[in-house]
Structures are given as structure tokens and as C-alpha cells.
Chains A and B, each alone.
Chain A
Amino acid sequence: MHGGALDALAIRSALTDRLGPRLAGRFEPRVLAVTCSTNDDALALGHGGASEGTVVLAEHQTAGRGRRGDAWVSPPGTNLLFSLLLQPTVGLATWTRLPHLAGLAVCRALESQFPALTEPHLKWPNDLYLDDRKLAGILVESRSTGGRPPCAVVGIGLNVNGLPAEFPEDLRPIATTLREHTGHLIDRNTLVAAILAEWAALYPTGLCSDFAPVRDELRRRSWLIGREIVVLANGNELAGRAHDIGPEGELHLLTPGGAIETIRSADRVIWRTVR
């Protein structure tokens, strides 16, 4: 383990410092030593009637995953792996905003906690990049059941106190950690509280109101815009230049023929070279 352990009381206290007791009380952190997947745990809790704001954090995940089942690798006790349970009152069609809001919450928290840090960017659809390498991944899942209101979980895996040498060899050139950039160990309890506090500011209006300000921030923080990319979706490949982020967070791709394709779903987004 690098740095201190995760601690629900410390997270709660840091949240209260930032948000005051009333807003902080909307979050209920639960720390697990080891689990298969915090997303599964949070979904199961939601299914069992746990309230919005329940946060499942784990020191270690044995079956952590990214989008479409990709494995998420994290040495025990080193990083932030957590899932926030939500019960959005808006229609499912708007839930597609959740991953974008989560990405922005992490970006804003990093900037407030580490002002000297290089600017974090969001790589559509679900990664956070620092200095052109992956620092965090976001996976939003929901479970819908006949008759009962569905719940959603926002899962975040953020590389904090690891060292690049600890990554599997194939990840070393493409992944990074906060410690590598800051040069010191980071208190994960304070960091997760900062992310949740940013979330508390973004979530209500970002989900229920005009998405335009969020879209503007997504454009500003986009790592992809302007890059030549290949989008892989369901066995098909589509090449072009990432052109813009659409009104609901879609990716607009400028194809070689000059058409703008709207991408809503992708298994992989591969970039070639920076032009």
C-alpha cells in the first residue's frame, strides 16, 4: 500500500469541510477491503433499496472492469476505485449525460487539489487523460427492472499513488498516475471527497437543465477534437477527424468525404497521430 488507507470517516469529514453538513450528509461512503467490482456492489445496494449518494470504495477489486468488459488493473491500496449510486428522477434518455458529468467532476477536482498539475483532458467516450496518457476511466451502468425505478452507478477508477513501473508492461507507455506527476503520495480520502463535492455541484443542474454549459466545458476539455481517429463499433470501423462534441455529448466525426457522422456508441476510439 502507498499512503494512508481509505477511511469512511475521513471522507465524510472532508466532505463536510467542503459542502457543509447538510449536503455532505447526502453521501454515504462505504469502504471495502476487497470486492469483485464496486459497480456491481453499488448496483446490488441500489436494488436492495440503498439511497442515492451511497458510495462504495474498495482498496482492491478482483474483477474491476471498464467499458464492455475490459479489465481494469489496479494494485491493492494504491488508487481510487469507487462507485456512486444514483436514482435520477429524469428519463433514461438523459442518463447519457452522467459519464460526461463524472468526467468533468474529476477534472475540476484535480485542478482544485493540484493547481500545478498539467491540465486534464477527457478522451471521449470514457477516459481521462493527463499528458496524453490515461489517468482515469469512467464506467456508468444502470440496472432496470420491470416496474421498479432503475438506478445508475457511476464507477470511477483513478490512478493515484501507483508508480508507472508497477503497471503491466503494455500499459506503461499509455497509462499514468497522479503520483508520477505530483511527485508525492496523495491522500485518497481528501481526493475522493473533492470529486464528490464537484459532483454535488454539477449533478443537479447538469442532469436536469440546459446541457449547453456542460457541452462547452466538454469541448474545452476534449482530448480528441482535432485528432485523426478510427472509431470501432460492433465490428465496423469509421475513420475521420474528431470534429466536435454534440449537444448531448455525442462525438461528431468529420469523415474523409466531408460528412459529419454522429457517434453515440463505440467499442474503441483509436487515435493515430497528432496533426
Chain B
Amino acid sequence: MDDHGLTHFKLEIEGSTLEMKKGAEVDVEAIQKLMSLAQPTYLHAAPAPMAAPAPAAGPAAPAAPAPVAEGGLAPGEVEIKSILVGTFFRAPSPDADVFVKEGSEVSEDSVVCIVEAMKVMNQITAGVRGKITKILVENGTPVQYGDPLFVVKLA
């Protein structure tokens, strides 16, 4: 904002608003919400250390909240999340082999599980290249939108 001489910046995407005023506190929550809207990806990387907000002019502004580590992801790890509400299945059928185990190598197009929602079998693909390090959900249990399903160590 300093570079462009702005004092007020307002962005609206899909009903969410981000408003920045010079000298005011940075609304980290709004920024994160907007970032999630602007990037419709189903993967959430371990949060990178956030740059400290530039010292605000005028009276001391409260510091932005420290980023909370998500599920204790190590650097280079990402989560594969559920993109819908349904039932999590690790194999195509009850007596078939599982799609992936801990240690399985996956590529972007590897199917890692099925989330079934009322007769629709949704094959979830890894979306990244790497190795499955954790399976976070029991076979046959319900999952919600955004629930982490797997942890992948990126190749």
C-alpha cells in the first residue's frame, strides 16, 4: 500500500470482503478466507512462516495472531482433504486391495480413496506427487467437507 500510495483497499470475492486501511490492524482471518476462495485447491500446505506485519504508523497496533500449525504438518508435507460430505472408503470394494497405504508413492492422478455421498462414488486423487505418510481417517467412517484424509510428503 505504501508503494502505491494507497490508504484504503477493499476487495470483494464471492460475498467475502477484505478491507485494508493504512494504519489499521491487518485482518488475517479475512485474508485467509479470501485466499481459500481465490485458490479452489483441495490441498493445504503446511503454513509457511508468516512475514511479520510491517510496523503500522501511529499508535502501536496489536500483533497479528501467530499462525497455528495445522495438524502438526512437517515442512514439505501437505494434506489431502475431503471435498465433500460423505463416507470414506480406502478400497474400491470391501474385499479389494486399498488404493494406498502409508509409504505408497502417489502422483497427481493417483486415486487415493473414495468418498461416497448417497450413491455417488467420488474418487479422490492425490493432486500432488509424493509419498503417503499418514492416513487420518478410518475406513467406512463419515467425513465432512475439508476434513484432512491423508498426509503426503511431497517428492
Query: Chain A interface (Cβ within 8 Å of chain B)?
Result: 43, 47, 65, 67-70, 92-93, 95-96, 98-99, 125-126, 138-147, 150, 152, 233-235, 248-250, 264-265, 267
Contact = CB atoms under 8 A, between A and B. Distances in A.
Contacts of B93: 65, 68-70
Contacts of A69: 91-96
A143 B123 contact: yes
Contacts of B92: 65, 68-69
B43 to A, nearest CB: 5
Contact of B109 (A47, A234, A235): A47
Contact of B120 (A96, A147, A267): A96
Nearest to B127: A146
B123 A99 contact: no
Interface residues of B, number: 35
Contacts of B84: 92-93
Nearest to A93: B84
**Interface secondary structure of A, over-half rule:** mixed
B145 to A, nearest CB: 8
Contact of B125 (A138, A144, A250): A144
Contacts of B111: 143
Interface in B108-132: 108-109, 111, 116-128
B123 A146 contact: no
A265 B86 contact: yes
A248 B118 contact: yes
B133 interface: no
Given A43-B123, A95-B120, A152-B120, A145 B96 contact: no
Select the residue from B40, B83, B91 with max chain A CB neighbours within 10 A: B83
Contacts of B140: 234-235
